[in-house]
Amino acid sequence: MRRLQVTEGTLARKMKQFDSREMFAGWIWIVLQAIHQKIYQSADVILIRRYDSSVEGLARVYETCVPKDRRKIFRQAIGDVLRLKGNNEDAPPGVFEDLIYLIERINATEALGAIAPTVSNGLLGEKNPEIIYSTVSLLSTLSPSSMVYKAICDLRDGVNFDRRYAADVRKILTACKRFAKRSRRK
């Protein structure tokens, strides 16, 4: 059996070839799914597993391998994975916990729009109620903005919202108060 040699340089060359959200989303999904299903044959997975967690590994790939001019589409791709795969019946819930924490780790506010259709109102939040807490925690750590305001309102108003987190939501809404009017206009 051939031993897989992978370096950040190899992965950086691969990331330079990615020119769309779909390519990044497909790669993120395949890597996280492989990690959560304990399939470690892919060179990319081996590199990511060198870190303490898959979130830290993906964050390091983002910081060191994704070209600066493509980082925004990488962050958007996280939302695409949530939106496209989060409501699949057979999707491993751990993948989505990792995506929520990755949003926080790399400040991927572009992905916040995927929370309503998956966590707040979708199968992901219904099947995995713990992700509501993870999402509230995520939103509490991000800098107040109109995107955070909209995401917390969508989460609070969703059918899967657990009222035990109402006090935390109020704190986030208060922090984002100045953005409320801007968010309502959109």
For residue range 82-111, what is the model confidence (pLDDT) as tens digits? 999 998 888 888 899 999 999 999 999 999
Angle made by CA atoms 128, 180, 111, in degrees to the nearest 5: 40
Distances (CA, A) of 149 to 159, 170, 178: 18, 11, 9
Quick one: pLDDT at residue 93?
81
Quick one: pLDDT at residue 50?
82
Burial code (b: 16+ CB inside 10 Å, e: under 16) for 4-43 equals eebeeeebeebbeebeebebbbbbbbebbbbbbeeeeebe
Domain boundaries, the chain: 8-185
Cα gap 54→59, rounded to integer Å: 8
Low-confidence ranges of the chain (pLDDT < 70): 1-7, 181-186
Quick one: pLDDT at residue 144?
94
For residue range 147-158, what is the model confidence (pLDDT) as tens digits? 999 999 999 999
Q: What angle, rounded to 10 degrees, do the helices at 93-106 and 21-36 form?
A: 130
Angle made by CA atoms 121, 100, 170, in degrees to the nearest 5: 65
Quick one: pLDDT at residue 106?
97
Quick one: pLDDT at residue 39?
78
